[in-house]
């Protein structure tokens, strides 16, 4: 029997890398999808270092262009077999502005990345999952999915839409055996860009370890059908519960 396939859209050096390592270590072949292969280099190397037997391949797609997401995942299915786990880990820019300062183009861009791209990914893999009565779809999200923002309305609007998409898909297709999960990360991740941003204030106890977050994705994938989580929230023990 061929290994199961996990496709990760947005496989960068942070959470994407950690997810690639986790699912490769569990025997999955990996399809890593991002705009350029350079963006996925760290994830590809870490996954292969963790399990040399895992077939790790890169596919190019732009989350702002839904057709490229669909084409990449269709290529994965053709090349590697049906996708057992889809992780949509792309996100829009975390641009600060007040609501009336949003441009139409910026609003459309964030909607394309957070919602249209996520829908294109799900639409490509879900029919086969439904036919086989199995499969897991994760949408990586954030606290922004639960509340609007005076300073980051674009991000909040995108994540609100992503949560609505995840809930709608869950209500429609969980009965067909597909586990769909909206993952709310109520925290900053301990990744290079955040360490640089925190500077002298950097304290790993205040941030979430990407590897430990990836472990929670894995454990959620293992949940039995009679006790599925369709929304989970993750935070370090030092987080002050902002929502």
Confidence (pLDDT) at 194:
83
* Domain map (residue ranges) of the chain: 5-234
pTM, two decimals, is 0.95
- For 58, 66, 141, 165, 179, the CA distances from 231, given in Å and listed in that order, are 29, 24, 10, 12, 11
Give the residue among 134, 143, 216, 215 at the shortest CA–CA distance from 180: 134
Q: How far apart are CA 135 and CA 131, in angstroms?
A: 10
What residues does 137 pair with on adjacent strands? 86, 180
Give the residue among 104, 111, 100 at the shortest CA–CA distance from 63: 111
Contact 8, 43 (CB under 8 A): yes
Q: How far apart are CA 63 and CA 9, in angstroms?
A: 8
Count Cβ neighbours within 10 Å for each residue of 75-89 and write b for 16 or more, e otherwise. bbbeebebbbbbbbb
Q: With a cut of 50, which residues of the chain have pLDDT below it? A: none
- Which CATH number fits the domain 5-234, given the four candidates 3.30.1490.20, 3.30.930.10, 3.40.50.720, 3.40.980.10? 3.40.50.720
Q: What is the pLDDT of residues 44-100, one digit of tens each?
A: 999 999 999 999 999 999 999 999 999 999 999 999 999 999 999 998 778 899 999
């Amino acid at each position: 029997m061929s290994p199961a396939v996990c496709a990760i859209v947005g496989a960068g050096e942070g959470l994407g890398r950690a997810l690639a390592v986790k699912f490769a270590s569990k025997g999955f072949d990996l399809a890593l999808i991002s705009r350029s292969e350079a963006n996925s280099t760290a994830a590809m190397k870490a996954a292969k270092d963790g399990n040399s037997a895992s077939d790790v391949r890169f596919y190019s797609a732009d989350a702002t262009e839904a057709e490229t997401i669909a084409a990449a995942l269709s290529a994965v299915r053709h090349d590697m077999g049906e996708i057992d786990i889809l992780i949509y880990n792309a996100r829009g820019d975390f641009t600060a502005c007040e609501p009336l300062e949003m441009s139409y183009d910026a609003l459309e861009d964030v909607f394309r990345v957070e919602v249209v791209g996520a829908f294109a990914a799900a639409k490509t893999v879900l029919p086969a999952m439904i036919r086989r009565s199995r499969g897991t779809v994760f949408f990586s999200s954030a606290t922004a999915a639960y509340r609007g923002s005076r300073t980051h309305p674009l991000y909040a609007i995108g994540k609100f839409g992503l949560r609505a998409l995840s809930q709608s898909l869950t209500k429609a297709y969980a009965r067909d055996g597909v586990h769909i999960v909206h993952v709310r990360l109520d925290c900053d991740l301990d990744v290079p860009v955040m360490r640089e941003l925190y500077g002298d204030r950097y304290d790993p106890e205040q941030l979430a370890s990407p590897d430990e977050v990836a472990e929670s994705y894995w454990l959620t994938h293992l949940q039995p059908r009679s006790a599925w989580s369709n929304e989970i929230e993750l935070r370090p023990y030092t987080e002050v519960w902002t929502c």
